[in-house]
Each structure stands twice: as structure tokens, then as C-alpha cells.
Amino acid sequence: MATDVQLPALGESITEGTLAQWLKKPGEAVAADEPIASIETDKVSVEVPSPVAGTLSETLVNEGDTVAVGAVIARIGEGGAAAAATPAQSAANATTNPAGPSETPQLRGSEHAPEPAAGDQDNATRLSPAVRRAVLENQVDPTSIKGSGKDGRLTKEDVLAAAQSRSAPAPQAAPVPAPQAAVAPSAPGERKEERVKMTRLRLTIANRLKEAQNTAALLTTFNDVDMSAVIDARARYKDLFEKKHGIRLGFMGFFVKAAALAARDVPAVNARIDGDEIVYHDYLDVSVAVSAPKGLVVPVIRNADSMNFAEIEKSIAGYGKKAKDGTLTAEDMKGGTFTISNGGVFGSLLSTPIINPPQSAVLGMHRIEERPVVRDGQVVVRPMMYLALSYDHRLVDGREAVTFLVRIKEAIEDPTRLLIDL
């Protein structure tokens, strides 16, 4: 008797998701709680586990389809015998078969494209459409590439890196005319375009950022900070800190603590507008912007004002790992009263970050760069960082924004203030 696999609850206010990828195909054996599909929502990507052990007998939706919470997406049968593919799976398989009638140019390579060995068919069919296209366009063997994605799956970057590492350039794929293709075939040297549908996460990010620009009176103020004291403190205590707490001492812990201290003096930065009222928080839930494979996400460090350095660093490291693995949940990103974004890890010298609604402010960190500054009438070289505070001018006055940044600067340049609450 077959067991239905339903789309589980995905989080508060989330009623549907997009089936991003089937991780199993009909006929494959699955264990209880083993992921069989990846679902993308407005906030996170989640995996749907099999409720029982058995065989995936059929899939009821295609990749890219929108599915409501509670809908049946597949059925798990008993035993390990292979089952016939459903129309949805047949259509997907047809796009990977060079002789299939549903073939599209972006999934078709030249007649010399490498074919996976028989023992590697499962891995080949689990490639996402973007990865399959990259494999065929670059003429590489997917079975010879070590994947860096979740569970060892190949990513588009893995394929491109493998193609670049070859000594001889790959031959160009033979052009195949197809009017309905997403990527038009082109002759050597001819310019081409590619249309890729936005993911739900990227579309949500775009809408929220535009909403912030349309709603808030955005303004950014800047300051710079001498990082010498923090760098010296890290160099002096990093080994002892890691030995005691099992986590590295980073820069973010200092800035979270400094923000908590500054928010006590300037509570408007940690507040929000709700209709015609201002909501002040006596706690600091810091949204830390983290880069994930499918876009920027902002998990929340709750009650950061009452945490010590070790607790803050452990929370940040845990969220970073979950973002890389694609296991962040909607609950991880729920709420948040203030955001810190560190563009410096990517080399950014200066930026104007956009607030994360309904929050009223975001602190932007940037790269540390040695610059000449004047100290006691002498020009000296110091490791400097530009700070940017973008804020909603409807709620935060310019004086308050500048005061907040000055408090951050004072705490970073003299970390003792973080210990004695100054």
C-alpha cells in the first residue's frame, strides 16, 4: 500500500512553496526521514523527508511547480522494485535524453558530450537544470567532478571550475534551432542571452528591498573606526578563547556587543514604526546578514544584548554553517530588531546598506584597510574600517544616527567600554 508524501508546514505565514528539485526518482529506494525533494519558499529552502521506508513509486508534481502546504507531492510504495516513471518524471528525463522529443537547446550538448557511466546514472539525473546545462555547454564529465553542494551534489560553480582547469578549451556545442528555447543557439563569436526564472527567495528579496525604498525615508551616515585595539585583543586572546570555548573569536562579536551598548543610548535605532505608533524594544535581536548559495539571508541572534562573546560567535558560526548547507528554517529568520551586514568579507570598502523592514536601521561593516591618519599631530598608519548606518529618517533623527555610530566607534576603539558598560 502506497503512503502519501505531503508538503509539510513550512513556517508561520508560509502557505506554499516551489518544488526546486527532486532528490530521488521513481523506482529508487528511500529510507524513513530521507530527503526526497527540495522545496523553495519565500524565505528558505527546505527538504521534504520520506515518512516511511520503501520505494518512491511516483512523483505528482514537476520541478518548478508551486505546491500548497498539505498537498500530496509523491507516493512511497513498499519494497524496492523499480516503478514506472510518472508523466512528470518522464518529461524531466526527456530533457536529459539527446534523442528525446522534448529536448531543449540549453540541455543539449554536441554529439561528443560525455555520457555518465551506467553506475553513475543516479548522480546524473540528480543534477539541477542549471548544472546539466553547464555540463553540456562545457563538455565535462560530471562523474569526474567532486561536488561541493549538500550531500556531495554538483553545483554550477563546480562544473565551471572543472572546465577552467582543463588545459585545452572545450569545443563549442553544436547549435540546435529551437524557437522556444530559453537560450538561443549562437555561432562562435555571436552574442547570446539567457533567461532564468527568478527563484522565490530572490524574488522576495527584490520585493522587500524595493518595499523598503518605497516606504522608508532612507538616509545613510558614515564614520570610520580604528581597528587596532580589536585586532590586538584578538591576537592576544584568540588561542585561549578557542581553547576554552571551541570557537574562533571574530570581529562580529565586538560589533554586536557595541551595537547593544549603543542601542541603550539611542533606543530609536532598535525600534520600529507600526501604523501611527513607535514600538520600542528592551531587547536586541540582531539580524546578521549571511551569504547563502541562493541569496542573502538574515538569521536572527536573539537577546544578543544579554549574550557573551562566546555565545554570539557560536550563534554566528552555527547560522553560517546552516546557510551554506541550506538548512536554515523560517524560525531562524523570524523577527529581528536591528541588522548588521558585513560587506568587508567580500572586499567592500564602502556601501549604503538598505534596512530590513520593519526595522529602522542597519549597520554596514566594511573591509579593514591600512590608511594614514593623524594621531597626536603625527601622521601614522592604522587599520581603518568605514562604518555606515542606514536608517529610517521618519523615526531616527540625524543627531541620533550620528550618536549611535559614535558610540560604536568609541566601543571598538576602546573595547574596555564593552566590559564596564560605558
Predicted confidence band of residue 219 (pLDDT cuts 50, 70, 90): very high
H or E element: which one contains 295? strand 295-297
Tell me, yes or no, if the two domains 3-165 and 217-420 fold the same way.
Answer: no
What's the pLDDT score for residue 15?
75
What's the pLDDT score for residue 188?
72
What's the pLDDT score for residue 241?
92
Written as nine digits, the cell of 221 is 551616515
Average pLDDT value for residue range 24-44: 82
CB 357 within 8 A of CB 211: yes
Active-site annotation, residues: 393, 397
* For residue 84, pLDDT beyond 80: no
Count of CB atoms within 10 A of residue 276's CB?
5
Written as nine digits, the cell of 248 is 574562533
Phi, psi of 220 (to 5 degrees): -125, 135
pLDDT tens per residue, range 378-411:
999 999 999 999 999 999 999 999 999 999 999 9
Q: Which amino acid is at 96?
A: T
Q: Which CATH superfamily is domain 217-420 in?
A: Chloramphenicol acetyltransferase-like domain (3.30.559.10)
What's the pLDDT score for residue 118?
41
pTM score, whole prediction: 0.61
Q: Which of 46-55, 182-191, 396-405 has the highest mean pLDDT?
A: 396-405
CB 46 within 8 A of CB 39: yes
Give the chain's mean pLDDT.
79
Return all residues near 390 (Cβ < 8 A) that are at least 6 apart: 218, 219, 220, 352, 353, 354, 355, 361, 362, 364
pLDDT tens per residue, range 276-316:
999 999 999 999 987 776 667 789 999 999 999 999 999 99
Written as nine digits, the cell of 149 is 553542494
pLDDT tens per residue, range 340-384:
999 888 889 999 999 988 999 999 999 999 999 999 999 999 999
Q: Which residues pair with 381 in a beta bridge?
A: 372
Q: Which of 116-125, 182-191, 317-326, 408-417 has the highest mean pLDDT?
A: 408-417
CATH numeric code, 3-165: 2.40.50.100
| Proportion of the chain above pLDDT 70, given as a percent | 78
**Every domain of the chain and the residues it spans:** 3-165, 217-420
Phi, psi of 420 (to 5 degrees): -105, 10
* For residue 256, pLDDT beyond 90: yes
What's the pLDDT score for residue 152?
73
* For residue 171, pLDDT beyond 70: no
